[in-house]
Structure 1
Amino acid sequence: MNIGNQQVTAHPFLTALYADGYYPDHVVDRGKAILLRLCERIEAERPADLAALYVLTQAATDEFNALQDDDFDIETVAREEIAGDFWFVAHAYGFADADDEELIATRDW
């Protein structure tokens, strides 16, 4: 599926992580793919309210949890960058009232 939201297609996800040599690009690519799949799911499922959005964002957060278990150290810089991109996605799809913490409530990082 192609992403139709112009804000999303123009957004450079996880830029601080790509710019920091501590994070290997191939691992950051996996994180970016998680966020893009989230956008695809939002467009496909069209959540009607915040509760439905949180189900999708928390599933994506679980994917980041698994990525961390594999080979990605999600420390302060990464945490803030990832959380910021979840916030961006929520706002790009019209959920301006989304709670930053609730979007990623299932995180273990």
Structure 2
Amino acid sequence: MSEAISSTTPQETSEFVAAGSGIETVARECICDEFRFVASAYGFTEADAEELTAGRDW
């Protein structure tokens, strides 16, 4: 992932930010995946990661 970030041009970066995108979105998705994994490991295979992380202020 760092390769993709380091290969972006300043214009691409400003377009990314202007579109309302951010690293937070990627991080949020990764964290949701981790919550899903932990919930599954504890037997909550039907747990909704979005619901598990709903209390977070992203």
TM-score interval, normalised by the smaller of the two chains:
0.5 to 0.7
Q: 1:107 to 1:74 in 2, by over 3 A?
A: farther
State the aligned residue count.
41
Within 2, Cα distance between the matches of 1:81 and 1:96?
Answer: 18
Task: Identify the residue that residue 36 of structure 2 maps to in structure 1.
Answer: 87
Which of these two proteins has the greater Rg computed from alpha carbons?
A: 2
Task: Identify the residue that residue 101 of structure 1 maps to in structure 2.
Answer: 50
CA root-mean-square deviation? 2.2
Within 2, Cα distance between the matches of 1:89 and 1:96?
Answer: 9
TM-score (norm 1): 0.32
Q: Any stretches of 5+ residues in structure 2 without a counterpart?
A: 6-21
1:61-109 per-position Cα deviation (integer Å, ceiling 9, x unaligned) = xxxxxxxxxxxx8611111111110011000111011112111110111
Higher helix content, 1 or 2: 1
Percent identity between matched residues is: 61
Within 2, Cα distance between the matches of 1:20 and 1:89?
Answer: 26
Q: Any stretches of 5+ residues in structure 1 without a counterpart?
A: 1-18, 23-72
